[in-house]
Structure 1
Amino acid sequence: MTFTRNLFLAGAVLAASAGFANAEMSATAINDLNVRSGPGPQYPSVGVATRGSAAILDGCIQGSRWCRVDVNGMRGWVYAEYLQVEHQGNAMIVEENEAVLGVPSVTYESTATVVPADPQPAPGDELLGPVGSVEAITPPETVRTYIETTPTQTVQLGGDVVVGAEVPDTVTFQEIPDYQYRYVRINDRPVLVDPGTRRIVYVYQ
């Protein structure tokens, strides 16, 4: 009797696990993106998920562009516009297709233990422009050396500092000798920018 009961309980656990597995949604990061400890740019980054990283999407906050994911061993919050899900053979951006994809709604409760990231853009600061497609690059080590030996003042901008984001016209770039891309420090993070499109092509970690 006990043996039969244990088999039943084991079967129930397996069935429950299978149900949770089916509920998971697989997504892909379409750009490098910050994974944050809470649903907002004011929360500290727990790491960066590189473009093409596979993620498990728990769900998104209703009426918000923030979604909770597990990606590259990190659990946190990312923008829905940077996530892509395969649906019936088509790649769909989560932010634009939440209803079609059937993305679950999740909630977030703030706690006193959450410490905002520092430094933070002020409310009146300019915003980074929309993210667009750019060609991935791998800068030579000489560029990193130049950046480390040529400090420049940081620029505070709202939004996530990710590959493909457009830098406002008011921001001045630093030229790098014998190199096609320019250098600027945004929110205390060194980035490389295509001067023609003003889009970020590389973010130093």
Structure 2
Amino acid sequence: MSLKRNLLLAGVILTGSVGLAHAEMAATTASDIEVRSGPGAEFPTVGVATRGSPATLDGCVEGSRWCRVDVNGMRGWVYAQYLSVEQNGAPVVVQDHRDDLGIPTITYEKTDPVTTGGIQSAQPDPDDQLLGRVDEDSGNIVAITPPEEVRTYIDDNPVDTVQLGGNLAIGATVPQSVEVHRIPDYQYSYIDVNHRQVLVDPGTRRIVYVYR
């Protein structure tokens, strides 16, 4: 099936209050925390970031506790009080020191399903296959960190992309009709969904990792 659209995502506009050169900061998770697809408890959980995980902090929403991070192979939103940043050689909580740390301010704004700023959102075509919904117990899934040789193997052994509608998130279920591809001496298999490389548990067919 030919690619009709980019990965189905909620449209967002994200802008920083500072230049791109200063728009990212190194942070660490202070506890096991849920990573969500948007800045609010109403958004689906992408996965769980384990305590002590290194993260890249893009910035936080003004007047909100939510910050956007890259952590454990996931990109999403977490509470600022569960993130720490090193200041003068000691870790400090982001929520308590946002002004002191100069945390960038970013905005989150839902948009209509059109291309905006290079990000495209669209409703699935009736003929598209769909990812299953994220299971309710997906929050119990431990975020994995695949070894580098797994990515190398996937890059060296490309497969045809599969066009799927729905949210590409850890815990979502891949349809039975989609072929998954085994990785030698590794417990997870892989597929290419909308030109994104994804690791899948071949037993449950649940997504366990999404490469950026």
More helix by share: 1
Q: Note whether the superposition's TM-score is higher than 0.5.
A: no
TM-score (norm 1): 0.44
Higher relative contact order, structure no. (Cα contacts within 8 Å, ≥ 6 residues apart): 2
Could you state the TM-score of these two structures normalised by the residue count of structure 2?
Answer: 0.43
